[in-house]
Amino acid sequence: MAAAQVALLTIITFLVGVLAASAWPAFAVFCFGLIVSAATGGLLRHFRKASWFLPFLLAPSFALGFIYYRFNIELTAASYLVPFEKNISAFAVVTAEPKIPRDKYQELSVDLEAPYHGRLRVLASPQLDYRYGDRLLFVGRIEPATPPDEPITLFPKIKLVERDRGNALLSGLLHFKETCLAVLPRNLPKPEAAFLAGLTFGDTRNFGDELKEAFRRSGTTHLVALSGYNIAILIYAVGRTLGRYVHRRLNFLITLVFIGLFVVMVGAEASVVRAAIMGALTLFAVYSGRRTYFLNIIALAAFLMTLIDPTVMSRNVSFQLSFASVIGLAYLGPALKTIFRISDDQKDLLGWREQLVTTCAAQLAVLPIILNTFGNASATAVLANLLILPFVPLMMLLGFILIALGLVLPLLAPIFAWIVHVPLAYGLGVINAFALLQIPVSGVLTGWFAIIVYYLILIYLAIRYSPERIEPL
């Protein structure tokens, strides 16, 4: 068995161990995982005599993942030096861009200063202007939380003490992003400007409740949550542009740096980080001339993200949706093409058959996650996405050109904005129409047994109808 295959199996078993540990207390799960790991190794040994050592490798790998998760949780809990459930006065620094998930509040992530220690969530009024790097003095009551959740303080009294106490590079990137975003409302109507801000930078702060509800009901929220689709477009655009002027190696390095800076600038959400890691690994494979296997790349991306944050698999919905959708695209998409007899050679308007298959594959892969997280999904979401997705690259391209004009040639930006307005208005029209045409799907796939059976069916379809032998390793 090749070293790459052994490494992949080890990584997957480690991830299973981390996931099992998130169900703590579950000693039975721990023991079951050890047995399954050993049994898996035994089966592989039976079919491949060179794999006799796998039972001795996979079981410790599972145990290491389990222990790694628990160790990090306990370490985080022990790091807090905070008097809970008491009113305190403390200094803290904002460590990330404020989030405004609802018009009624904004959420700040802050690090406490001595004599206290630890990271908190602070809910504050959305009207107050706070930024990354702000040093605050707050007076309030800190409520404890069960790890890995962070303790929280609700609407404390806050006084801004000092600006720009954060990392200079990150502050500069965030300032540049705000400068770019300020171009949009100056040249576009409010809904279109908000939509384009979501497409280009994943910024939804200016989405009103009505627009948020329209995206949710139409099943198109993922369009403004930066993911692999958006990152792939950026990697392609940057690589092609630089390829005309610089050497291949320098092109590779500059593209990596650009994507890294972009990920930091937009907030490093799980879906963006996953897409960036996979993009970087794919770029490296292409640059080095090595053959790439999709499962190896996605497993390594999940492994790296889990090392940084062991809770990301079990608690981060963005991570779950991102990985499920991309696996669906890679493995279920080709199977659906076979089932519906769709050939790559077929020519059709805007490639609607290809878009239909990929959209269905992604939606089927994430359906249980959506139903169990949000309570319902829309049966018409596939059609809504089918009508919008072909135009997303065009919208992003025109959006970045508009931003560049607004920064360099502001007098020309309003004229060019008329061109940008057309596809954006079309996209919003589709979203609003399908928000009204929503056919809710709820009350299914809500139990573990149903979810397992559902995914087993998808796995069977992916294997049975794959146009070629699936190479998982």
pLDDT digits (tens, 9 = 90+) for 304-352: 889 988 888 888 887 888 788 888 888 888 888 888 877 766 565 556 6
Residue 368 identity: P
State yes or no: pLDDT of 257 exceeds 60.
Answer: yes
Q: What is the pLDDT of residues 435-447, one digit of tens each?
A: 998 887 777 777 7
State yes or no: pLDDT of 53 exceeds 70.
Answer: no
- Contact between residue 217 and residue 381 where contact means Cβ atoms under 8 Å apart: no
pLDDT cut 90: percent of the chain above it: 23
| DSSP β-ladder status, 119-124 and 152-154 | parallel
Q: Please, what's the b/e burial string for 155-164 (b: 16 or more CB within 10 A of its CB; e: otherwise)?
A: ebebeeeeee
3 state SS of 102: strand
Question: Which is more confidently placed, 402 or 326?
Answer: 402
**Candidate ranges 36-40, 310-314, 359-363, 422-426; pick with highest mean pLDDT:** 422-426
State yes or no: pLDDT of 405 exceeds 80.
Answer: yes
State yes or no: pLDDT of 225 exceeds 80.
Answer: no
**Candidate ranges 17-26, 208-217, 404-413; pick with highest mean pLDDT:** 404-413
Specify the DSSP element, H or E, that contains 172: helix 168-187
Q: State the chain's mean pLDDT as an integer.
A: 81
382 exposed, middle or buried (CB, 10 Å; 0-12, 13-18, 19+)? middle
Instruction: Check residue 87 and report its DSSP letter.
Output: E
Q: What is the pLDDT of residues 89-107, one digit of tens each?
A: 999 999 988 887 766 788 9
Question: Which is more confidently placed, 119 or 25?
Answer: 119
Task: Report the pLDDT averaged over residues 239-256.
Answer: 80
Question: Which is more confidently placed, 155 or 370?
Answer: 155
- Treating both helix axes as pointing N-terminal to C-terminal, what angle do 190-201 and 209-218 enclose, rounded to 10 degrees? 60
State yes or no: pLDDT of 47 exceeds 50.
Answer: no
Residues 6+ apart with CB under 8 A from 344: 337
Measured in degrees and rounded to the nearest 5, phi and psi for residue 289 equal 80, 15
Residues 6+ apart with CB under 8 A from 129: none
pLDDT cut 70: percent of the chain above it: 85
Task: Report the pLDDT averaged over residues 127-135.
Answer: 89
* Of 151, 161, 141, nearest in space to 89 by CA: 141
Q: What is the DSSP code string of 311-331?
A: THHHH-HHHHHHHHHHHIIII
Q: How many CB atoms lie within 10 A of CB 216?
A: 16
CATH 2.40.50 intervals, the chain: 87-166
Task: Report the pLDDT averaged over residues 59-66.
Answer: 84
Using CA atoms, how far apart are residues 389 and 395, in angstroms rounded to an integer? Answer: 10
* Of 249, 270, 396, 265, nearest in space to 322 by CA: 270
Q: What is the pLDDT of residue 399?
A: 93
State yes or no: pLDDT of 46 exceeds 50.
Answer: no
Q: What is the pLDDT of residue 76?
A: 82
- Topology of domain 87-166 in CATH is OB fold (Dihydrolipoamide Acetyltransferase, E2P) (2.40.50)
Question: Which is more confidently placed, 211 or 359?
Answer: 211
Instruction: Check residue 302 and report its DSSP letter.
Output: H
Residue for token digits 């949000």? 374
Using CA atoms, how far apart are residues 183 and 367, in angstroms rounded to an integer? Answer: 36
Q: What is the pLDDT of residues 12-42, one digit of tens each?
A: 888 888 888 887 554 445 555 555 555 555 5
Using CA atoms, how far apart are residues 414 and 426, in angstroms rounded to an integer? Answer: 19
Cis peptide upstream of residue 390 (ω within 30 degrees of 0): no
